[in-house]
Structure 1
Amino acid sequence: MHLTDLLLVEDHDADVMLVQEAVASAGVDVAVHVVRDGVEALSFLRQEGMYARCPDVQLVLLDANTPRMNACEVLSELRADDTTRDLPVVVFSSSARLADIHGCLEEGASGYIVKPNDFPGFMAIIHELLMDWQRAVTRSGRHAGRL
């Protein structure tokens, strides 16, 4: 399949490893780039400072509660910027609170996924996300603004 780049914004090492393992086992050619918080995510996506040579990503998987900036704050910045306005951003969080879900969707998240508590569920949800995303890319011929 076509190589694409995914930015994972996650501050918990165990979740980073699980996402990387799920992507590796999904059978898609995706490069996973990892940053630890919302400030780093914005720098990466804007290719600023130490991220100046980073690739353009086609999908962001964003933890809802990272240090320095939460998902809603990151989404607000991304949606206000013409270069990242249509970038697919899926919030991937342990919070199932309706206020959190609605807040992220109102700020422009492409989707909101509650992290499963079990390994098979975690793997399955990442596989499903990647397959949906690949179908959207195949249909549009480029990154899709919404999954």
Structure 2
Amino acid sequence: MGSPSRFADILLVEDNPGDVRLTEEMLAEGDFDPTVHVVTDGPEALEFLERRGEFTDSPRPDLILLDLHLSRMDGEEVLAEMGGELQEVPVVAISGSQEGAALKLDDLHTEVDACLEKPIRPEDFDRIARSL
């Protein structure tokens, strides 16, 4: 299918176990062989990214797959809290609908590198990952 991805570490921020499983399966089907780190809510995502708490040894991800609809702190709030060098990490917003993701992000004037609609298909991720 082409050359392997440059994404060695992907942070998946997703609170639905079924979507986590499907995303991991999708990544396994493609040319990508990343290490997928999973967190289930916004505060946990920020701890991972800032290497706090149980995540002091976490790698800096090469890509963040961020569900916009999370408990405790949604994806938009996570994006707003990401600062400094974390803003350089590519972020792909994941939403139940492409239109919903674009509208929410437009409302906040927040930039992400791409949006994907659930369920994520290998060919869609492959296209976006190669463009990033």
Q: Same fold (TM over 0.5)?
A: yes
1:46-74 deviations in Å (ceiling 9; x for gaps): 01010001111110000011111111111
The amino acid that maps onto 2:113 is: S
Is residue 57 of structure 2 the alignment partner of residue 53 of structure 1? yes
RMSD: 1.9
- Structure 1 segments of 4+ aligned residues over 6 angstroms from their partners: none
1:37-52 equivalence runs, <5 A: 37-52=41-56
Q: Which residue of 1 aligns with 2:124?
A: 125
Shift of 1:122: 2.5
Shift of 1:77: 0.8
Q: Which residue of 2 aligns with 1:68?
A: 72
Task: Count how many residue pairs are aligned between Structure 1 and Structure 2.
Answer: 126
Q: Distance in 2 between matches of 1:76 and 1:26?
A: 31
Structure 1, unaligned runs of 5 or more: 133-146
Q: Distance in 1 between matches of 2:89 and 2:128?
A: 15
Structure 2, unaligned runs of 5 or more: none
Is residue 111 of structure 2 the alignment partner of residue 112 of structure 1? no
Shift of 1:103: 3.4
Q: Is the 8 A contact 1:6 1:58 kept in 2?
A: yes
1:18-47 deviations in Å (ceiling 9; x for gaps): 110111111223111100011100000101
Q: Is the 8 A contact 2:7 2:62 kept in 1?
A: no
One of 33, 36, 57 as aligned partner of 2:37: 33
Q: Is the 8 A contact 1:45 1:56 kept in 2?
A: yes
Q: Is the 8 A contact 2:8 2:34 kept in 1?
A: yes
The amino acid that maps onto 1:34 is: V
Give the TM-score normalised by structure 2.
Answer: 0.84
